[in-house]
Amino acid sequence: MIEHGDIKSILPHRHPVLLVDRVLEVRAGGRIVTVKAVSGSEPCYAGLPDDAPAEAYDFPASLLVESFGQSGALLWLHTMRAGDGVPPGTLIFAQARDCVFEGAARPGDVLRHEVRIETLKPNNVFLTGETYVGDRRIASMGSAMAVIRETDSLSPAPASDPTAAAAAVNSMGETA
Amino acid sequence: MSSQSCAAPLRAVDEVVVDPDGTSAAARKRVTRDDPYLVGHYPDFTIYPGVFQLESVIQTARELIGAPARLVKIRSLRFTAPLLDGDELSIALTLSEDLVAKTLVVKARCTRGDGTAAASMILEFAR
């Protein structure tokens, strides 16, 4: 099990966009199971009027996909560290196919992501998996792909501090 | 955050123009590090998460389909360029019907302010 604080030594994402609460299990090259609690106190629910219908509280699909993707990133990084090491750069969500959203999560629900590696290459990974709330499957991700991009190709205008960007990336390479 | 009709990570479109025929729309969004969630993505440099381009398209589609429109499928989704603090995102989408699946199909292209293709996607919404 990997607790939330320790996830920060693996992923560069920070509050409030670190959307994995806990890793329940992970096997290098295999599968990861993570949970993320959906709470009415998170930013995505901030602007709802008092008379909003129940459906308005569906956890946004974009955030569900992000939470799933971060779970996949954890699996990928765990796998790379167990093998040849993590290549330098930033992990970027590149594409997805055949993602079906069968249900929704609402405040009080706990998302459980089960993510598996389909194909592993030195600089990219194909993932697949599902998201559950209890026994109810609410999403199945046919295929998602992430790539490692050199951070220099992402950095903004020269005025920014390149060492700051490097620090964000280096946090992905530190051992948990 | 201003009042909104359903849960959303941020206001992902600044302006939407719906074509009179109701089958296409254009929208824009200026990426700003001050938006919710962006402070953590990432602390040292701001990258608009790819999923927020998906959110921009969903919010644009809701202008065409109606506020409660529920995403049921991502057929395909590709991110091809990063968006940084200050970048302008343009969204162009078209709406059609899948009579077999009984869903509304949204095809969208997102372009960065310098003309670079940023994302393309095909989504399905419940009717």
Q: Return the residue in A18, A44, A67, A152 with the most chain B beta carbons within 10 A, the one to mutate for interface testing.
A: A44
Query: What does the pLDDT look like over B52-95, one tens digit per residue?
Result: 999 999 999 999 998 778 999 999 999 999 999 999 999 999 99
The radius of gyration computed from the CA coordinates of chain A, to the nearest angstrom, equals 17
Tell me if A61 and B5 make a contact (CB, 8 A cut-off).
Answer: no
Closest approach of chain A CAs to the CA of B19, in angstroms? 25
Mean pLDDT, rounded, of chain B: 93
B74 neighbourhood in chain A, CB within 8 Å: 65, 96-99
B41 is catalytic: yes
CB proximity list for A89: less than 8 A, separation 6 or greater? A123, A148, A149, A150, A151, A169
Mean pLDDT, rounded, of chain A: 87
Query: What does the pLDDT look like over A49-67, one tens digit per residue?
Result: 999 999 999 999 999 999 9
Q: Return the residue in B1, B2, B5, B6 with the most chain A beta carbons within 10 A, the one to mutate for interface testing.
A: B6
A58: amino acid identity, one letter: D
DSSP A63-78: HHHHHHHHHHHHHHHH
Tokens encoding A68: 């799933």
pTM, rounded to two decimals: 0.90
Report the alpha-carbon angle A96-A19-A82, nearest 5.
Answer: 75
Query: What does the pLDDT look like over A3-48, one tens digit per residue?
Result: 999 999 999 999 999 999 999 999 999 999 999 999 999 999 998 9
Closest approach of chain A CAs to the CA of B15, in angstroms? 18
Greater model confidence, A45 or A155: A45
pLDDT at A160: 34
Q: What is the DSSP letter of A54?
A: G
Distance CA A127, CA A139 (A): 14
Average pLDDT, stretch B26-35?
96
Query: What does the pLDDT look like over A127-143, one tens digit per residue?
Result: 999 999 999 999 999 99
Distance CA B95, CA B108 (A): 9
Distance CA B68, CA B98 (A): 19
pLDDT at B35: 93
Confidence check: pLDDT of B9 > 80: yes
Of the candidates B1, B39, B41, the beta carbon closest to that of A46 is on: B1
Of the candidates B9, B45, B74, the beta carbon closest to that of A168 is on: B45
Distance CA B29, CA B44 (A): 22
Confidence check: pLDDT of A92 > 60: yes
A102 three-state secondary structure: coil
Q: Find the catalytic residue in B11, B28, B33, B41.
A: B41
pLDDT at A153: 60
pLDDT at A172: 43
pLDDT at A166: 38
- Confidence category of residue A163, pLDDT binned at 50, 70, 90: very low
Confidence check: pLDDT of A168 > 60: no
Q: Where are the alpha helices (DSSP H) in B20-124?
A: 50-65
Distance CA A50, CA B5 (A): 10
The least confident of A27-36, A85-94, B76-85, B100-109 is A85-94
- Confidence category of residue A155, pLDDT binned at 50, 70, 90: low
Greater model confidence, A123 or A75: A75
- Confidence category of residue A91, pLDDT binned at 50, 70, 90: confident
Average pLDDT, stretch A76-97?
89
Confidence check: pLDDT of A89 > 90: no
